[in-house]
Structure formats: structure tokens, C-alpha cells
Structure 1
Amino acid sequence: MPDPQAVPALARMLITDERFASCRNTVMDGNPDLAEEMAGRIVEEGLKFVAACSRNPGIGLAPSRIVDEGWHALILHTAMYADLCQRLGGDFVHHFPGYDPTNYDPPILDRTREKITELGWEADPQLWGPPSDETLGSVAAKCQHTPNCTIVITPKPKPGGVV
């Protein structure tokens, strides 16, 4: 029997093709000038980010501004997103938005990319840049997670109070 928490070869395989297409369309709806291929890349990076958070509770990770757009699309599909978080480790990956591009902290993104690599994936280097990098185009997401606004997953207490 396969390990239910094993990660697939491609992060996009964490959800069905139908759900992936729906999330990609959500990104495109909010960003009408974005090509379908780019919207798909953004969603896939969002999936990698959620998996990295689920597997690394308590260390504080954050997406780039453009990857945050993909994460937003996943979150908007609430039932699918809750199921995804549960399948990845059981802890819901909450979103704590914040936007202060002057307080950009590269080590947070470095740490997040490291955790993605540890899962066997490569973080798309074009999509993990600073908030001011709009060489691939602008996205609607106005979140930039900073040192005071990282994503820290607090595991659910286990029976008997053990975390």
C-alpha cells in the first residue's frame, strides 16, 4: 500500500486535473493578461508551497508574491484545499496576509525553496523573486509575507496533549 503522505513526482498531481484546471482558471480570472501556461506554473508553485508548509510545521515559511496568487486560488476552492491540507499531513495551512514590499526578507524565501527541494521538487526560480520583480507580469495578489508575517503551522494537539 502506498504511503498516503508520499509526494508525487509533480506537485500538480496533488490534486486532480479537473481541480488543477479550475485553480488555474481562478488565477486567470483575477489576472486576465496572464497566459494559461503561466497560470498553471503559479498554481503548481502554490501546491509546492502548501506541501512544504504542511511537512514543516513551526519553522515559518512564506511564498513569493506571485506564488501567493496560486495559493489564493487553491484557498478559494475551500473543500479541495481542506482535503489537500489533510492529505499532506493533517494540519490546515492558514493564510495570514500582509503587504510591505519595503520589508522584503530573502531568507524566508530561501528557507521555503529549501523545504520544497527536500520534498523532491525544484522551486521555479522565475516565480520566487522579490515583490518588485514583475518581469513575468503583474499579479493581483498584494501579499508579501515578511518576518512578522510568515506562515507558521501549529500542529493539532494529539490525544493526551502531545504535539
Structure 2
Amino acid sequence: MSVGQLPVVARGLIPDERFASCRGTVMDANPDMSQEMAGRIVEEALKFVAACSRNPGVGLAPSRIVDDGWHALLLHTAVYAELCEELGENFVHHFPGYDPTNYDPAILERTRQAITDLGYVPDVELWGDPSDETLAAVAAQCQHAPECTIRPMPKPEWP
């Protein structure tokens, strides 16, 4: 993949074995979770990181469920660094914070729209209220919104 070009399926942003490893991290943190659900979560996290990288300064945020997949990507530091490098100029930093009252549907809608604008289809079931654990209970204790939305920082230019 060259910078500027995204794969049709977000899962293609990282090699299959790395995707499987990140999916395994989600499953390790959430022992009762199915492999299929963990895969959906990691794929949404990939879409989220791509949207953030391509929309610096917009202020996007993951849902609590998607944030668990983002955490899995972050734990695979080499994979994550390569992903951000492939996506372009903006490294997507994580600023943890948790307050379930931070739930802001407008920020999540803006994030889903940014994902759609890249040509991906958001898995809307994974973008809901942080207290709704009927679909998937996750270990992530983060809820980003509104003061801790994600604003990617350009790569520093070294002399």
C-alpha cells in the first residue's frame, strides 16, 4: 500500500498474522469474547486510526468498544508504528481518559462519517453508548469525548 491509497477492506491495513495477533490481544483482555467479535473490534479500530490520520484537527473519538481494539493495536507497538507510517503524515496518539458521562453521540457520528468518507462501512453496532454492554462487554476503561477527542499530531521534522 502506498501513502494515500487505502485498501478496500480496513483489515488489509495490516498483514493477516498481525491482525490475528491484535485480535488475540482483544480476546485475552475479554476472555468470554468470540474470535468473530474480537475481529470486528480490531477492524473498527483500524478504520478509526485511518480516519484520524486522514483528518487531523477534526477531533474524532472511538466508542468504548472500538477503543478496546485500538488498545490492542497500541500494545503491538511495531505494528502500530508501521500502520501510522503507512497511513501518512499524522501519527495518531492515544490520550487515555475515562468518564462514561463523556459519551457524545455527535463526536461518534462525526467519526463514523470520517470512516465512511474513506470508503469504509462502519460497523454501527460497535459505535454505541459506553454503558451498553449487550453486544460486547470490553475491558477498556476509556471514553474519549468531548475534551479528549483525538487530534493527530504531524510527524516531527528532524534536522
Residue segments in structure 2 that go unaligned for 5+ positions in a row: none
Contact 2:91/2:155, CA 8 A, preserved across alignment: no
Corresponding residue number in structure 1 for 2:82: 83
Amino acid at match of 2:65: I
Quote the offset at 1:5 in angstroms.
Answer: 2.3
Amino acid in structure 2 at the alignment position of 1:124: D
The question of 1:46 aligning with 2:67 is answered: no
User: Match of 2:136?
Assistant: 137
Aligned to 1:10: 9
Q: Report the TM-score, using the length of structure 2 for normalisation.
A: 0.95
Superposition deviation, residue 102 in structure 1 = 1.5
CA distance in 1, matches of 2:3, 2:149: 27
The sequence identity of aligned pairs, in percent, is 71
How far does residue 3 in structure 1 lie from its aligned partner after superposition? 4.3
- Equivalent-residue separation in structure 2 for 1:83 and 1:113 (angstroms): 23
Number of aligned residue pairs: give it: 159
Which residue does the alignment assign to 2:152?
Answer: 153
* One-letter code aligned to 2:6: V
Task: Extract structure 1 runs of 4+ deviating beyond 3 A.
Answer: 156-159
State the partner residue of 1:120: 119
What is the Cα deviation at residue 20 of structure 1?
Answer: 0.3
Superposed displacement of residue 139, structure 1: 0.3
Structure 2 equivalent of residue 22 of structure 1: 21
| Matching residue's letter, 1:93 | V
Q: Distance in 1 between matches of 2:137 and 2:3?
A: 36
Query: Relative to 1, partners in 2 of residues 1:3 and 1:79: Cα closer, same or farther, differing over 3 Å?
Result: closer
